[in-house]
Chains A and B, each alone.
Chain A
Amino acid sequence: MDKYIFLIPLFPLVGFLINGLFGKRLGKGVVSFIGCMTIAFSFLVALFIWKDLLSLEPEQRVFTQTLWEWMSVGGLKVDISFLIDPLSMLMILVVTGVGFLIHVYSTGYMYEDESYWRYFAYLNMFVFFMAMLVLGGNYLVMFVGWEGVGLASYLLIGFWYQEMDNAVAGKKAFVVNRIGDFGFVLGLFLMFWTFGSLSYQDVFPRALELFEHGGLSFNSPVLVAICLLLFVGATGKSAQIPLYVWLPDAMAGPTPVSALIHAATMVTAGVYMVARTNVLYTLAPTALLVVASIAAATAFFAATMGVLQNDIKKVLAYSTVSQLGYMFIGVGVTAYWAGIFHLMTHAFFKACLFLCSGSVIHAMGGDQDMRHMGGLAKKMPITYITMLVATLAIAGLPPFAGFFSKDEILGKAFSFAYYPVAGKIIWFIGTVGAGITAFYMFRLIFMTFHGEFRGTEEQRHHLHESPPTMTVPLIILATLSIVGGWLGIPEIIGRALGHVPNLVEGFLEPVFEHSHNILSAHAPHVHVSEAVEWTLMSTSVVVAIIGISLAYYIYMVHGKDLPQKLAEKYAFHYQVIYNKYYVDEIYEFLIVLPIYYLSVFFWKVVDAFFIDGIGVNGPAWLVKRLSSGARLVQNGYVQTYGTFMLIGLISILCFFIYR
């Protein structure tokens, strides 16, 4: 089956080309069919490859396929190649599986839109590039996918580009992403310079070899530099501090786009990249510390920003930034499988949350402000139940999915072998963040679905449950939000339940084997007793319950007056957090405006005046002046001409006589 790996990206590419070139003429039915079936086929191919993968022994679970040689330049030889191992297998199943559900949902959500065909073309293009990113066998193919999903994101955020704000949001996403990509590319250069290759199957063995034989020391500066530069790219793509600012603005795009790209798949590319590069990161603990610290900060601060937002999608956006922080905490404390596991569960419940919010927005006639909602539970029962399930998952309550993945990350942070003290601090920040997460998510539920409706009469009449094309994906995703977590049951619970294995950890083990070997050989072993583990787990649950109760108290029991009074009493804090710590404004002032004025300078002075005026127009002006003088020689009188001829003749004669 490994001969067919290329089909996974090929189907969406074909779908993109057909819908993009002919979509306008094909009609909505055909466009929907092509758009959705391409992803379905990719998913099916992925399933077959998975079946074949599982039939192999765990150590041998690697499929590769090389399509052709892309470039052979100097010492750099890069092929268009694919690598399927447990990590990329899991990723591609999530991408195509959740992607398919979102495509189906979109057929309902985007039905009224006149650029329906363009939407599906872009969406297929996105899945194509994401597949290239995840399946690539070397960093350059990954980078092609990396850039491509950034492009798709730009096009889809600014999908309704007729509104200036949407176009600006798209531009912001792409530019911020590019800044991260600059770091990423520098990392690639350094990697090539150090290891002589960009292919996964060259770099990692070579790194291990150099480490064994002393060529590369533990925590060597080169390695730390490579890992940090790659992480800069990840902060851009996966919205961490300092490059997260594009994600809340990205909510300007259609809601299914927010679900697919800015929750389930594209933003997780950074996490995948770090997990893929686990060997290098494990050998560079300093880089890991930086990753985990930034991630913890992001998880916490983004959570605080989500507390006060009134736009339902913005709450989810900040929630995504925060949850991505958790994923990076996971990979940052060398719990690579846990980070990826949270990526998977997050894909399920965050996609569900976004699609549910889309359902709510549809019912509200396009209004996204939660202050106008309320009491929607009775009018939209399916949406309510699925959203509640997903919210319980993200809040981290057992037995829902989020509990298992988030808890695993926090537990591993607590026992971070390289930096035990930092690990405990990170655990603490993460746990507080989890409480805040539970708080703002249930605030969302209470404001949207409970209490009394606060919108206009017109909106009240329009409230309705969404059609099956939209509710069926919701139900599927909600179900996955429940059972998805059971694929990664931590050891102590598994034992308590009677030898239930941790399926995800076991499946991903071969990918992270070398890292685990390095850790056990070189890191001081932090032993966490079972009692401590149970305590940590209970703490998470307790913190989540506190968050939910607080939200219940403020928004349900005293919903009419307490939020207002708190806002007034702590007005300063309210303003700062509501305005997202003014980070956008600070960036605008410190970075955007100087660059803007610099570019205006380059435009008006350097380009228009110097280069155009003096460089190009200057010689033209000179020639014009000189020639308007020179032409006066031709005055039309034969005798003048004759005179000059005589003078010339005499000069020549003199020259020859007096030579």
Chain B
Amino acid sequence: MAGINEYIILACILFGLGVIGFLTRRNALILFMSVELMLNSINLMLVTFSASRADMGGQVMVLFIFAVAAAEVAVGLAILICLFKHMKSVDINKFDLLKW
């Protein structure tokens, strides 16, 4: 049986994977996936604490995060599609126009 520590470690590892993916991958879609991974790791963390403390607050917040993440993905993908139409690529290294 896994204690609370294992859940926390798992959430941290998932978060770390999400960060690494966000910072190193070139494909914009993979970036979005990494962001989702980070969000979901946080969800796991929240649910864990909610269960261990018998406090519903954590689970409620998770529902909020689901809704926000979904909205964010919708908007983000819409922007990405517009961007793709211009740049003909989803390589984020090509999106460097907003610079000095």
Contact with B along A621-635 (1 / 0, CB 8 A): 000000000011011
Cα separation A634 to B31 with both chains bound (whole Å): 20
Which of B19, B24, B31, B96 touches A636 (beta carbons < 8 Å)?
Answer: B96
**A642 neighbours in B (Cβ, 8 Å):** 22-23
A638 interfacial by beta-carbon distance below 8 Å? yes
A639 interfacial by beta-carbon distance below 8 Å? yes
**B98 neighbours in A (Cβ, 8 Å):** 634, 636
Whether the Cβ atoms of A632 and B100 lie closer than 8 Å is yes
Whether the Cβ atoms of B23 and A635 lie closer than 8 Å is no
**A636 neighbours in B (Cβ, 8 Å):** 95-99
A637 interfacial by beta-carbon distance below 8 Å? yes
**B24 neighbours in A (Cβ, 8 Å):** 639
Whether the Cβ atoms of A637 and B93 lie closer than 8 Å is yes
B92 interfacial by beta-carbon distance below 8 Å? yes
Distance to closest chain B CB from A98 (angstroms): 78
Which of A631, A637, A643, A646 touches B96 (beta carbons < 8 Å)?
Answer: A637
Whether the Cβ atoms of B19 and A637 lie closer than 8 Å is no
Interface residues of A in 607-659 (CB under 8 A from B): 631-632, 634-639, 642-643, 646
**B96 neighbours in A (Cβ, 8 Å):** 635-637
Q: How many residues of B contact A (CB 8 A)?
A: 13
Candidate in A631, A635, A636, A646 with the most chain B CB atoms within 10 angstroms: A636
Inter-chain contact count A-B, CB under 8 Å? 29
**A632 neighbours in B (Cβ, 8 Å):** 100
Cα separation A637 to B23 with both chains bound (whole Å): 10
Cα separation A635 to B92 with both chains bound (whole Å): 12
Cα separation A636 to B97 with both chains bound (whole Å): 6
**B95 neighbours in A (Cβ, 8 Å):** 636-638
| Cβ-closest chain B residue relative to A630 | B100
Whether the Cβ atoms of B23 and A643 lie closer than 8 Å is yes
Known contacts: A646-B19, A646-B23. The answer to whether A639 contacts B92 by CB under 8 A is yes
| Cβ-closest chain B residue relative to A640 | B23
Interface residues of B in 14-35 (CB under 8 A from A): 19, 22-24, 31
Contact with A along B47-84 (1 / 0, CB 8 A): 00000000000000000000000000000000000000
Distance to closest chain A CB from B72 (angstroms): 15
Contact with B along A571-603 (1 / 0, CB 8 A): 000000000000000000000000000000000
Cα separation A636 to B96 with both chains bound (whole Å): 4
| Cβ-closest chain A residue relative to B92 | A638
Cα separation A646 to B24 with both chains bound (whole Å): 13
Whether the Cβ atoms of B100 and A637 lie closer than 8 Å is no
Distance to closest chain A CB from B32 (angstroms): 11
Whether the Cβ atoms of B99 and A639 lie closer than 8 Å is no
Distance to closest chain B CB from A205 (angstroms): 80
Distance to closest chain B CB from A623 (angstroms): 16
**A631 neighbours in B (Cβ, 8 Å):** 100
Whether the Cβ atoms of A635 and B100 lie closer than 8 Å is yes
Distance to closest chain A CB from B29 (angstroms): 14
Cα separation A533 to B35 with both chains bound (whole Å): 121
Cα separation A638 to B19 with both chains bound (whole Å): 13
Cα separation A638 to B96 with both chains bound (whole Å): 9
| Cβ-closest chain B residue relative to A646 | B19
Whether the Cβ atoms of B22 and A634 lie closer than 8 Å is no
Cα separation A646 to B38 with both chains bound (whole Å): 13
Whether the Cβ atoms of B22 and A635 lie closer than 8 Å is no
Cα separation A635 to B98 with both chains bound (whole Å): 8
Cα separation A632 to B99 with both chains bound (whole Å): 8
| Cβ-closest chain A residue relative to B34 | A642
Whether the Cβ atoms of A637 and B92 lie closer than 8 Å is yes
**B99 neighbours in A (Cβ, 8 Å):** 634-636
Cα separation A253 to B73 with both chains bound (whole Å): 89
Candidate in B22, B92, B96, B100 with the most chain A CB atoms within 10 angstroms: B100
Distance to closest chain A CB from B16 (angstroms): 11
Cα separation A639 to B25 with both chains bound (whole Å): 9
| Cβ-closest chain A residue relative to B19 | A646
Distance to closest chain B CB from A67 (angstroms): 68
**B22 neighbours in A (Cβ, 8 Å):** 639, 642
**B92 neighbours in A (Cβ, 8 Å):** 637-639
Cα separation A294 to B21 with both chains bound (whole Å): 99
Distance to closest chain B CB from A412 (angstroms): 89
Distance to closest chain A CB from B4 (angstroms): 20
Distance to closest chain B CB from A626 (angstroms): 14
Cα separation A515 to B65 with both chains bound (whole Å): 105
3 interchain residue pairs of minimum CB distance: A636-B99, A636-B96, A631-B100
Question: Using a CB–CB distance below 8 Å, which chain A residues touch chain B?
Answer: 631-632, 634-639, 642-643, 646
Other contacts beyond A631-B100, A634-B100, A637-B92: 9, CB < 8 A: A635-B99, A636-B95, A636-B98, A637-B95, A638-B31, A639-B24, A639-B92, A642-B22, A646-B23
